[in-house]
C-alpha cells in the first residue's frame, strides 16, 4: 500500500507548485491539463487507480486531455479544495462526504447514519437517486464525474470499545466541517478533537487523540493504523465520495472530451467500487498481521450501535435533504 510510485523530486514539485494551471515549457501546448487534488498519498492504491484512469483518458483523447494530480493533501483538506475549485485555483478533486457536504448536502443521503449496511444497498440507492442529486450539484457549480465508496468505517482506538458508552473515556477525532459525527456526540458523551485530515497522524503520534473512525484501507494508507491497538469488527458506516469537477471548467471542454472524461471516470471508479470489499479484507489482514486486535461485538452491542445510528439520523436528516428524499433513500436500506 505504501510503495511510492513518484520520485521525491516529482512530489516536491507538486507540493511547491503555486500556479497549478501554468504549463511547463516542455509540455505539449495542444494538451489540456486539469488540476486534480486528492488526500490519497502517492503510491497508495487509490492514487494508482487515479493514475490508471489518467492513462486511459490520455489514450482515448489522443493526448488531448489529462489530469495533473496533487496528492497527499498538498492542496489542503477537502473544504479548502472545494473553495479552490470554486475560486478557479483548481479544476477538480476527489472528495469524501465532507467535501460533498460543502457542495450540495443532499449528496449525504447515501451516507445516512444507521441506514445502509451493504455496498449493494448504496449502489441501488445511487442508481435511483444520483441523477436528482447530481443535478443539484450542477446548480452549485460542480459536476460529479463518478461516485466512489471510500469504505466501511470501523472504530480504531488504543482501548477496547464494545458499546457506545465505552467512548466516554476516549479522545475522539472529529473532522473539521463534519455534519454527522457532531450529532453522534450529542447522543454519546466523549472528548472530541476537531482536526483536518492532514493533522490526524501527528495527533495520533502525540496522543492528542486515541480514537478515530475510518475504513481499514484508509487507516493503512495514511499510517493511522500503526497508532491504534484495537479495531471494531463491526463497521459503523459506509463512507461515500467521488470525483468532482468545476462545471465552468467542464463546459470549456469539447463535447467529445466531456464524454470521454465522464466515461473513463465512471469506468475506473466503478472498478474501484467492485474491488472495495477485497481491498478492505486485504487491509484488515495486514493490520491484524501487525498486531491489531479485533474487538468482537455482541448482539447487545450491535443493537446499541444501530439504535444510536437511528437517533443520529433523526438529528441530522433535516440538515441534509428534504423529508421525501430522506425517505426514498432510507427505503433502500430496508431491502
Compute the average pLDDT of residues 232-255. 95
- Residue 6 binned pLDDT confidence (cut-offs 50, 70, 90): very low
The stretch 126-130 carries a mean pLDDT of 96
Residue 152: which residues within 8 A CB-CB, separation 6 or more? Answer: 215, 216, 235, 237, 238, 239, 280
pLDDT average, residue stretch 225-247: 95
State phi, psi for 312 to the nearest 5 degrees: -65, -40
200, 333 in Cβ contact below 8 A? no
Secondary structure class of 117 (helix, strand, coil): coil
Helix, coil or strand: residue 172: strand
310-321 mean pLDDT: 91
The answer as to whether 201 is a domain residue is yes
Q: Are 97 and 197 in contact (CB under 8 A)?
A: no
Instruction: Over range 304-322, report the average pLDDT.
Output: 91
When divided into structural domains, the chain yields a total of 1
| Full-model pTM | 0.85
What is the tens place of the pLDDT at every residue in 75-92? 999 999 999 999 999 999
**CB proximity list for 66: less than 8 A, separation 6 or greater:** 31, 32, 33, 34, 54, 57, 58
Mean predicted confidence (pLDDT) in 252-272: 96
Looking at residue 194, its pLDDT comes to: 94
Q: Domain holding 121: CATH number?
A: 3.40.190.170
Q: How confident is the model at residue 25, as a pLDDT?
A: 35
pLDDT-derived band at 117, boundaries 50, 70, 90: confident
Residue 186 lies in a domain: yes
Highest mean pLDDT among 210-214, 303-307, 328-332: 210-214
Q: Tell me the average pLDDT across 232-259.
A: 96
**Is residue 120 within 8 Å of 229, Cβ to Cβ?**
no
Name the pLDDT band for 29 (thresholds 50, 70, 90): low
Which band of pLDDT confidence, cut at 50, 70 and 90, is reported for residue 178? Answer: confident
Residue 1 inside a domain? The answer is no
Whether residue 3 is contained in a domain is answered as no
Rounded to 5°, the CA angle 251-255-259 comes to: 100
Average pLDDT in the chain: 89
Q: How confident is residue 15, by pLDDT bands cut at 50, 70 and 90? A: very low
Residue 151 lies in a domain: yes
Please say if the pLDDT value at position 39 is more than 60: yes
Q: Is residue 265 part of a domain?
A: yes
Residue range(s) defining the domain that contains residue 80: 8-332
C-alpha cell at position 262: 465522464
User: For residue 7, is pLDDT > 50?
Assistant: no
* Per-residue model confidence (pLDDT) at position 113: 85
Amino acid at each position: 500500500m505504501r510503495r511510492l510510485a513518484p520520485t521525491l523530486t516529482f512530489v516536491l514539485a507538486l507540493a511547491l507548485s503555486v500556479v497549478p494551471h501554468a504549463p511547463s515549457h516542455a509540455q505539449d501546448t495542444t494538451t489540456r491539463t486539469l488540476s486534480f487534488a486528492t488526500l490519497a498519498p502517492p503510491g497508495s492504491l487509490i492514487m494508482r487507480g487515479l493514475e490508471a484512469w489518467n492513462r486511459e483518458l490520455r489514450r482515448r483523447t489522443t493526448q488531448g486531455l489529462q489530469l495533473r494530480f496533487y496528492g497527499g493533501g498538498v492542496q489542503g483538506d477537502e473544504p479548502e479544495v472545494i473553495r479552490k475549485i470554486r475560486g478557479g485555483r483548481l479544476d477538480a478533486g476527489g472528495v469524501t462526504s465532507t467535501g460533498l457536504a460543502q457542495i450540495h448536502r443532499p449528496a449525504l443521503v447515501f451516507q445516512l447514519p444507521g441506514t445502509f449496511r451493504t455496498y449493494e444497498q448504496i449502489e441501488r440507492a445511487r442508481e435511483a437517486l444520483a441523477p436528482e442529486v447530481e443535478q443539484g450539484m450542477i446548480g452549485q457549480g460542480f459536476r460529479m464525474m463518478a461516485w466512489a465508496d471510500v469504505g466501511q468505517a470501523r472504530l480504531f482506538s488504543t482501548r477496547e470499545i464494545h458499546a457506545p458508552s465505552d467512548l466516554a473515556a476516549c479522545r475522539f477525532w472529529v473532522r473539521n466541517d463534519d455534519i454527522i459525527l457532531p450529532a453522534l456526540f450529542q447522543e454519546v458523551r466523549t472528548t472530541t478533537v476537531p482536526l483536518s485530515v492532514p493533522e490526524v497522524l501527528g495527533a495520533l503520534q502525540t496522543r492528542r487523540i486515541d480514537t478515530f473512525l475510518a475504513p481499514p484501507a484508509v487507516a493503512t494508507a495514511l499510517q493511522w493504523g500503526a497508532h491504534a491497538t484495537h479495531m471494531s469488527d463491526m463497521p459503523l458506516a459506509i463512507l461515500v465520495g467521488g470525483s468532482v469537477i468545476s462545471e465552468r471548467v467542464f463546459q470549456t471542454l469539447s463535447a467529445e472530451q466531456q464524454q470521454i472524461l465522464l466515461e473513463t471516470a465512471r469506468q475506473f471508479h466503478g472498478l474501484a467500487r467492485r474491488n472495495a470489499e477485497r481491498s478492505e479484507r486485504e487491509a484488515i489482514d495486514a493490520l491484524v498481521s501487525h498486531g491489531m486486535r479485533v474487538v468482537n461485538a455482541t448482539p447487545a452491542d450491535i443493537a446499541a450501535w444501530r439504535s444510536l445510528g437511528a437517533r443520529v439520523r433523526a438529528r441530522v436528516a433535516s440538515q441534509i435533504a428534504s423529508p421525501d428524499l430522506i425517505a426514498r433513500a432510507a427505503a433502500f436500506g430496508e431491502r
